[in-house]
Structure 1
Amino acid sequence: MENRLSLLENVRSIAQLGLHYAVNPYDIERYEKLLLLASKEYSEITEVKESVIIEKFKKELGHVTPKVGVNGVIFSSDGKMLFEHRADDGTWGIIGGWCETGESPEESLKREFLEETGLVIKVNSLIDIFTRKPGDFGQPHTSYHPLYACEIKDGELRTSFESLEIGFYSIDEVEKWHGEHFDMAKRAYRYMNMH
């Protein structure tokens, strides 16, 4: 399976680069067919609709690089961590989201915290970087996820449309985790105990 996903990511990259640079209509047609074939295969593996995948890929023409998502942890004075009960899939996780163009990872994380929690934060230090490969957690691409230690500077904790519930909990109070967020939480606790 891993070899198949690696092959698909390479085919997708070639197709997207080709569509970005090609001017010959026959080449454009060939690259579109390659992208369609890759999308069909991704759809079978990830169980995401082919039309959804092809639209995502067409929006990412040009040199294909891994996506970047950021996450941040904040601890309470009694050692609990700020977790969010997500509205999109009903799981629990650490605050974060995808980086946007024109932002540093730290700026993206500050924006995500403000949007999702109402908190203004200070991003202190990088704890670790997590990697998702195609097929991990149903996603069709490679992505990197820096995890930061943060602290609250201002604001009042509140939920947003992205969350059902938000608050400070111990790691063993959470049952259903989003993606690799359980691993992130464990890594954050180790970091906290070392500093």
Structure 2
Amino acid sequence: MSDQWLHWAQRLQALSQTGLTFAVNDFDRDRYGQIAAIAAEMMAADGMGEVDGLQKLFDQQQGYATPKVDVRGVVIHNNKLLMVREKLDEGRWTLPGGWADVGESPALATVREIEEEAGYTARAVKLLALYDRNKHEHTPYIFHAYKVFFRCELVNEVQHLV
């Protein structure tokens, strides 16, 4: 699927989610449900999952549709960059990070992810970048997401980074 088709499918899903949230009658709910089904079929046609699985994932999303927030921590210690291997992405190397949780600031989410993935205690000291994941070369994702990068410092002295 081209980037444009994915963008359209994401927009259809978001419109259907928001529409279902504010629909006042069964006719509107049915129409917005059909829009969600079209988005699921478009994404499934590109191998992003099975239609039923995508539809279930869409059904779990409630409220006004907004982009998800993906956070990453940039830790440089003794001229070495902290990297981790992604368990869900074929063991590829990446900066530590993941999804921000509801009620959690992006900075705190970054600190949490560094501890969970790398075992280090850190603090976020500076916002480095915020960008639209759809506008860059990434593996396609079914939801719209923003990627946030923070420069972080380790709180405790570390003997070495491997």
Q: TM-score, normalised by structure 1?
A: 0.72
Q: C-alpha offsets along residues 129-155 of structure 1, whole Å, 9 cap, x if unaligned?
A: 232119941212221111111111138
Supply the distance in 1 between the matched residues of 2:74 and 2:138 (Cα, whole angstroms).
22
Supply the distance in 2 between the matched residues of 1:136 and 1:108 (Cα, whole angstroms).
21
Please name the residue that 1:132 is paired with. Answer: 133
* Structure 2 unaligned blocks of 5 or more: none
Please name the residue that 1:87 is paired with. Answer: 87
Supply the distance in 1 between the matched residues of 2:148 and 2:47 (Cα, whole angstroms).
24
Supply the distance in 2 between the matched residues of 1:68 and 1:41 (Cα, whole angstroms).
23
1:11 aligns with 2:12: yes
Please name the residue that 1:164 is paired with. Answer: none
> What is the SS of the residue equivalent to 1:150?
strand
2:148 alignment partner, one of 146, 149, 165? 146
Q: TM-score, normalised by structure 2?
A: 0.86
**Equivalent residues in 2 for 1:178-193, closer than 5 Å:** none
Residue 52 of structure 1: how far off its partner (Å): 2.8
Q: Does structure 2 conserve the Cα–Cα contact (< 8 Å) formed by 1:124 and 1:150?
A: yes
Number of aligned positions between the proteins: 158
* Structure 1 unaligned blocks of 5 or more: 158-166, 169-195
Supply the distance in 2 between the matched residues of 1:126 and 1:92 (Cα, whole angstroms).
22
Task: Give the superposed CA RMSD.
Answer: 2.2
Please name the residue that 1:63 is paired with. Answer: 64
Supply the distance in 2 between the matched residues of 1:155 and 1:25 (Cα, whole angstroms).
60
The percent of aligned pairs where both chains have the same amino acid is: 27
